[in-house]
Amino acid sequence: MGMRRLILIGIALIFLMTHLCAQDYRVEIGGSLFLPSEKAFRDIYGKGMIIGLDIGRKIRENLEIHVEVSYFSKIGELTFTRERTRVRILPIGTHLRYIFSKKIVHLYAGAGLTYTLFDEKNLLGRVRENKIGYRIKIGGFKRIKGFKKILKQFIIDVHMNYQYCKMKPAEIQFNAGGLDLGISFGFEF
């Protein structure tokens, strides 16, 4: 319960620091194909889907701040014992995004920090670890006019993330991140 409060307080502070104004927000929900960077991780779990929520706010003409939460869960098989194992990875992060092209498709690049919660459970035991890492994100989005009285614009966003978070939960050091390719849909208001 303490971690949830900390996350909510952090999100609230970020938005308060950017002078709350409801006309410059963006909320996106999406999915990505996750390609873990560690071979040992891929051997056990393979690739999989990540779901996520991204809340952003414009802070300058071409600069936005974003808070992003993603979730990955997969069941795999241990390499030697063939025991069933389950992993959950929850990266929570904030990053700055610079929009450098405002044509038909708005191109952007961003980077920031993540706090990653890692949890793996099988018959041999359970390992958990939480670490700070970083994320780099590039992509493009298209605005589609929305309902003027309710929503400013509808958003379709295609992106590529690379996340790095070095962990050592059980005497084995590895990167809990990797590459993910995704699409999200959202609204500006």
Q: Residue 133 maps to which CATH number?
A: 2.40.160.20
Return the sign of the alpha-carbon dihedral for residues 107, 176, 12, 33: positive
The SS3 call for residue 39 is helix
pTM value?
A: 0.82
**pLDDT, mean of residues 9-36:** 72
**Number of structural domains, the chain?**
1
> Does residue 54 belong to any structural domain of this protein?
yes
pLDDT in tens, 108-145: 999 999 999 999 998 888 999 999 999 999 999 998 87
Please name the residue that has the structure tokens 């589609």: 144
CA distance from start to end of the chain: 31
> Does residue 35 belong to any structural domain of this protein?
yes
162 and 171 Cβ atoms separated by less than 8 Å: no
Domain membership of residue 28 as a residue range = 24-188
Q: pLDDT: is 46 or 22 the higher one? A: 46
